[in-house]
Chain A
């Protein structure tokens, strides 16, 4: 599990690391997109929610695969929060009524096969997996 200091500028670093791990896995390059998206959405949420000025959040990422099943585990030490408890946005709302926020976790849930949350040792932990064709 790689541990990196969490600040917005570190997202490109994390993303590069994910790209390298994906390349090494031999999985189809087309399958990477939902994992990059999940990393960004979860990272940005962890940084923007509950972090005080000057505070450093821990953010950890672990990528693995078993055959064609890719799995990403993301951990952060933000206050306990289960993003899966959020209601899905109304994707049928009109342009005027459509909420501007709340789309990130919806996208993650829709683009992954499986997403689970648990709070463990002071960390929010999301486990995301998907079968890659």
Chain B
């Protein structure tokens, strides 16, 4: 594969850092995604990190692990952490893993941003 399966776009607006993973979050992609999430949490001035999963097509246990690490790191750093826009298959993985009880979830980006106001 010459092209990465996952790109994570970062958007910063008014104290909120949006991390937008686009593609497939598999074993190979999980290391890069972890770096992106950790940077988003550590980023200057961020009081909240929202992972917008609307363009995330696939996640495995290696990817879930990063969400868990991210949620913990955010809590330690006093940064609010949430996810939004989970497609059905990805949401099923979250629920089966019990992650819906560990990580705040919103239906879409607008709802996630509104909840931070």
Residues on A close to B: CB < 8 A?
Answer: 8-9, 11-12, 30, 33, 36-37, 40-41, 44, 89, 91-96, 98, 100-101, 103-104, 106-107, 110-111
Answer whether A103 and B102 are a contact pair too, CB < 8 Å, given A98-B68, A111-B96: no
A38 smallest CB distance to B (angstroms): 9
**How many residues of chain B get a CB closer than 8 Å to chain A's CBs?**
24
23 contacts between A and B (CB under 8 A): A8-B28, A11-B28, A12-B1, A12-B5, A12-B28, A37-B58, A37-B93, A40-B26, A44-B60, A89-B97, A89-B98, A95-B71, A95-B102, A98-B68, A100-B65, A101-B65, A103-B64, A103-B97, A104-B61, A106-B96, A107-B61, A107-B93, A111-B93
Nearest A residue to B97, CB-CB: A103
- Complex Cα spacing A60 to B60, Å: 20
B31 smallest CB distance to A (angstroms): 11
Contact A96 B72 (CB under 8 A): yes
Contact A11 B26 (CB under 8 A): yes
- Complex Cα spacing A67 to B18, Å: 44
- Complex Cα spacing A44 to B31, Å: 14
B89 smallest CB distance to A (angstroms): 4
Contact A37 B27 (CB under 8 A): no
Q: Which residues of A contact B26 (CB under 8 A)?
A: 11, 40
A2 smallest CB distance to B (angstroms): 18
Which of B1, B28, B65 is within 8 Å of A103, CB to CB? B65
> Which 7 A-B residue pairs are closest in the complex by CB-CB distance?
A91-B98, A104-B61, A103-B61, A33-B89, A110-B96, A12-B1, A40-B60
- Complex Cα spacing A8 to B97, Å: 24
Answer whether A37 and B60 are a contact pair too, CB < 8 Å, given A8-B27, A101-B65: yes
- Complex Cα spacing A44 to B27, Å: 8
Q: Which residues of A contact B92 (CB under 8 A)?
A: 111
List residues of B (64-112) whose CB comes within 8 Å of A's CBs. 64-65, 68-69, 71-72, 75, 89, 92-93, 96-98, 101-102
- Complex Cα spacing A110 to B96, Å: 7
Nearest A residue to B66, CB-CB: A100
Contact B65 A44 (CB under 8 A): no
Contact B96 A33 (CB under 8 A): no
